[in-house]
Structure 1
Amino acid sequence: MSTQRHFRVWRGDDEGGELTDFTVEVNEGEVVLDVIHRLQATQAPDLAVRWNCKAGKCGSCSAEINGRPRLLCMTRMNLFGDDETITVTPVRTFPVIRDLVTDVSYNYDKARAMPAFAPPSDLEPGEYRMQQVDVERSQEFRKCIECFLCQNTCHVVRDHEENKPDFSGPRMFIRAAELDMHPLDERDDRKELAQAEQGLGYCNITKCCTEVCPEHIKITDNAIIPMKERVVDRKYDPVTWLGRKIFRRDQVKH
């Protein structure tokens, strides 16, 4: 069974653009990405959209659907009323390249600045051993598909472009938390680095990043809040603070 549905899709580039109206055929069981592909095939062959797996695992097809950050391939058409107009726009936080495609290199720049996993110097690859409880502790964070919807919805950079140089965002905070929890990571300054260089203090835990995560990672509760708490413990607990001063462990490594 097919119906005709009203879509408004943003068309343009880095110099500007506008919402364009389309009437598109929609079939039962389809997702928004199916309709965008049909739109390309029938009415707008030059429409730019980024996608890859169409299974909610590559994170490529991030967009905003009726103002909410979503994956095009995981947003079913039956979520919307039969007479509802579906508006599809590029994610707002990153610069538009063309149509629904944005420049997300900000995220890769922040990832490159993240200190890598630092294994014990006295172990060779293949000799690493972890308890299952330690694996499970950070397994949740490894589910991230890097769709960057959490980065896009975070108001720290969504509403304040000037914060981008100093703020790495929730995607990077869960990476920092994962490494901080890793029993074989030799660095002991992940928390301080997140606070001093990645902008952890900018986050006021509104949980908007958690709400849009397609993998249902509890970004705020399980990564950001624990990292903030451990930073406070180290920085303001008098016993911990004195011990770090005595043993000169209060400097962020580079």
Structure 2
Amino acid sequence: MTKATFNIWRGDGGAGELVEYTVEVNEGEVVLDVLHRLQATQAPDLAVRWNCKAGKCGSCSMEINGRPRLSCMTRMNTFEPDEVITVTPMRTFPVIRDLVCDVSYNYEKARQIPSFTPDPGTEPGDFRMQQSDVQRMQEFRKCIECFLCNDVCHVIRDHEENKEHFSGPRYLMRVAELEMHPEDTADRRVIAQDEFGLGYCNITKCCTEVCPENIKITDNSLIPLKERVADRKYDPLVWLGEKIGVRKGLRKDTPVVPNTKPPASSGPA
């Protein structure tokens, strides 16, 4: 058994400060274990959100030495023996108390995304998908909604005003998942750009770097979605088709049919 020095942010949405603790550490423990020991021995009022302690619920997201991480998956043996470990709440979201943040912003964005929209004439049992499409959907569905990708995204981390127009990488990935689904008939390229702020993303890949599920958020969802939006907006044939449609009295937002979406193979495998 050894001892470690922790600087933990204590306070609420109004004000707070880093408080230093010296706490015992056992072999094989993770940061969340140490936080629980602090609650049991020195700081019973320390607020920490957690649930599964297995890296699958996303509840224990926080920033450890300045990096957004899951405390239940951050092993103590990855730090130097005399290293001071600083633990703070996620900085992109309002603090409720201590290490617990209000992440309701994320759920508000989730509710704004139109749900899966299959062809009304197709029964669920009639769906047929290529294995590459199945694998693509499964990668996106691995998300545990820890919101570390949204936390590290500088578009909303450094610019509070962007939260109104930008849904962040987590839910742009959801839009991409539905747009790439071969059985989804809705054209989500317009809302991706106009309602969810895809244009704000400058593909720094910081969201991919912090994803505990190793989802290639940037390469497999954001970049392909940007390509689809660019094709629709700047492709001269698409532009000509819209002009012809307007002359025939059709609205540009006329509901799309399954054949008008790009083939599913245009996304990453």
Structure-1-length-normalised TM-score = 0.95
- What is the rounded CA distance, in whole Å, between the counterparts of 1:171 and 1:252 in structure 2? 28
- What is the rounded CA distance, in whole Å, between the counterparts of 2:239 and 2:35 in structure 1? 56
**Paired residues of 2:207 and 2:218 also in contact (CA < 8 A):** yes
The C-alpha deviation readout for 1:78-128, integer Å capped at 9, x for no partner, is 111000000000000000000000000000000000010012201234443
The 1:136/1:244 distance shift into structure 2, 3 A limit, reads: farther
- What is the rounded CA distance, in whole Å, between the counterparts of 1:24 and 1:31 in structure 2? 13
What residue number does 1:92 align with?
A: 91
What residue number does 1:47 align with?
A: 46
What residue number does 2:78 align with?
A: 79
- What is the rounded CA distance, in whole Å, between the counterparts of 1:252 and 1:24 in structure 2? 63
The C-alpha deviation readout for 1:52-78, integer Å capped at 9, x for no partner, is 000100000000000000000000111
Does 2:201 align with 1:203? Answer: yes
Q: What residue identity is the alignment partner of 1:246?
A: I
The 1:125/1:138 distance shift into structure 2, 3 A limit, reads: closer
The 1:156/1:252 distance shift into structure 2, 3 A limit, reads: farther
- What is the rounded CA distance, in whole Å, between the counterparts of 1:161 and 1:68 in structure 2? 20
- Farther off after superposition, 237-246 or 107-116: 237-246
**Paired residues of 1:192 and 1:252 also in contact (CA < 8 A):** no
**Paired residues of 2:92 and 2:157 also in contact (CA < 8 A):** yes
Equivalent residue for 1:238, pick from 223, 236, 239: 236
Q: What residue identity is the alignment partner of 1:251?
A: D
- What is the rounded CA distance, in whole Å, between the counterparts of 1:87 and 1:252 in structure 2? 53
Q: How does 1:1-254 map to 2 (within 5 A)?
A: 2-188=1-187, 190-247=188-245, 248=250, 250-251=252-253
**Paired residues of 1:10 and 1:20 also in contact (CA < 8 A):** yes
- What is the rounded CA distance, in whole Å, between the counterparts of 2:40 and 2:254 in structure 1? 53
The 1:187/1:100 distance shift into structure 2, 3 A limit, reads: same
The C-alpha deviation readout for 1:146-175, integer Å capped at 9, x for no partner, is 000000000000000011000000001110
Q: What residue identity is the alignment partner of 1:215?
A: E
**Paired residues of 1:149 and 1:209 also in contact (CA < 8 A):** yes
Q: CA deviation at 1:143?
A: 0.6
The C-alpha deviation readout for 1:213-254, integer Å capped at 9, x for no partner, is 00111111111111111111111111122123334574387x
**Paired residues of 1:193 and 1:252 also in contact (CA < 8 A):** no
Q: Say how many residue pairs are matched.
A: 251
The 1:252/1:18 distance shift into structure 2, 3 A limit, reads: farther
Structure-2-length-normalised TM-score = 0.90
The 1:41/1:231 distance shift into structure 2, 3 A limit, reads: same
The C-alpha deviation readout for 1:157-216, integer Å capped at 9, x for no partner, is 00000110000000011101110111111102x122110100000011111111100011
The unaligned stretches of length 5 or more in structure 1 are none
**Paired residues of 1:7 and 1:21 also in contact (CA < 8 A):** yes
The 1:18/1:183 distance shift into structure 2, 3 A limit, reads: same
Query: What SS does the aligned partner of 2:57 have?
Result: coil
- What is the rounded CA distance, in whole Å, between the counterparts of 2:243 and 2:19 in structure 1? 61
